[in-house]
Structure formats: C-alpha cells, structure tokens
Amino acid sequence: MRRSLQPLLLLLLFGAAACGYRLQPEGKGRFTDPSVVIELSPFVNDSPEPDAGSHVAARLREELRRRGFEGTFGRVGADFQVTGKIRESRDDVFSHTSSRFQLENRFTLLLAVRVVDTRQGTVLWKEDALAETVSYYAGSDAQYTASNRRAAFEESVRRMVLRMAQTIRLIL
C-alpha cells in the first residue's frame, strides 16, 4: 500500500512546483532587507497604565526581530514609520459571588496603529480600534488581584503585538 502512494505523492509535489508554489520565498523582501530603517517610537499613552506605550513598542520591536526583520530601528532616514496610541485600558467585572464580590474580571486594551511608507508618503496600514481582552481572577488579597491584572495586561500586549507584527510583515 505504501509503495502505491509514493508515485502519487511525487506527482502531487511536482505538480505543485510546476504551478508556481514554493515552500520558501524566492527573493528578499523589504522585511528582510538589512538596509530598511523603521521608526518605531513609544506609543502615545492615553490609558492609566503607566508604561503601556513604551511597553507595547518595545514588545513590537522584539516580535519583529523574532519574525525575521533584519533592518534597523531609528528615526534618521527611516523608510517606514510605525506610530501608535494606547487609547484605553479598562477592567470590567465578568463574574461575582452571590455577595457581589468580584471573581473574574476582563482587562481590555484598545489601541490605534498606523504604518506609513515615508519615502512615498502613503499609509500602508491604519487601524483605529485594535482591541484585545483577557480574563483574570480577582480575590480578597489586593496583591493577588494586582498580580493577575498585570499578567492580563502582559497577555493582551503579547496577543496585540503578534497581530501587529504579522500585519507589518505582510505589508512590507
């Protein structure tokens, strides 16, 4: 049975290659070009989170590097500019006990992001309401609740940065 599948598998692989499908990209794009400069300053922070703007920008730089960006980050001579604004961070009670004590909250982070090709002056991507929501548990201990809230903030930033980095990689 296995021997009869081998020719069929080879035929499918060669057929896919003949149609133009590739397992690896052929050339280098702008994302992997070492001469590309991206300006990625800390995002404007309109939320009560004290370090949200700089934290999101730093995590975005790390994720772009992790995804293979080989250029540099800087302001002088930037080919692309990534700007953002933390518009809101809020906590909503999701569940509570019969005595109205909070059990589970939801942390929501809302931001705006824009990517501009500075050489041509065109907006490549703009999103005014990028949102991410993460649940966290509350307790009678304030430190427990604050620690869980910070973990929810970190997780919402991680998810948001993954989405932004994926989009930036696609448009560059």
Range scoring the smallest mean pLDDT among 25-34, 83-92, 141-150: 25-34
| Residue among 81, 156, 158 nearest 126 (CA) | 81
* Residues 96 and 62: beta-carbon distance below 8 Å: no
Digit-coded pLDDT (tens) for 91-114? 999 888 777 778 999 999 999 999
Measure the CA–CA gap between 49 and 86, rounded to whole angstroms. Answer: 9
CATH 3.10.20.30 fits 32-171, yes or no: no
At residue 139, does pLDDT exceed 90?
no
What percent of the chain is modeled with pLDDT above 70?
A: 84
User: How does residue 29 score in pLDDT terms, banded at 50, 70 and 90?
Assistant: confident
User: How does residue 4 score in pLDDT terms, banded at 50, 70 and 90?
Assistant: low
User: How does residue 22 score in pLDDT terms, banded at 50, 70 and 90?
Assistant: very low
Size of the chain in residues: 172
Mean pLDDT of 56-65: 98
| Residue among 159, 170, 157 nearest 45 (CA) | 157
3 state SS for the chain? CHHHHHHHHHHHHHHHHHCCCCCCCCCCCCCCCCCCEEEECCCEECCCCCCHHHHHHHHHHHHHHHCCCCCEECCCCCCEEEEEEEEEEEEEEEEECCCCCEEEEEEEEEEEEEEEECCCCEEEEEEEEEEEEEEEECCCCHHHHHHHHHHHHHHHHHHHHHHHHHHHHHHC
In this prediction, residue 13 carries a pLDDT of 59
Measure the CA–CA gap between 113 and 42, rounded to whole angstroms. Answer: 12
Domain ranges in the chain are 32-171
Mean pLDDT of 47-75: 96
**Does pTM surpass 0.75?**
yes
Mean pLDDT of 20-29: 52
At residue 2, does pLDDT exceed 60?
no
User: How does residue 65 score in pLDDT terms, banded at 50, 70 and 90?
Assistant: very high
* Residues 70 and 78: beta-carbon distance below 8 Å: no
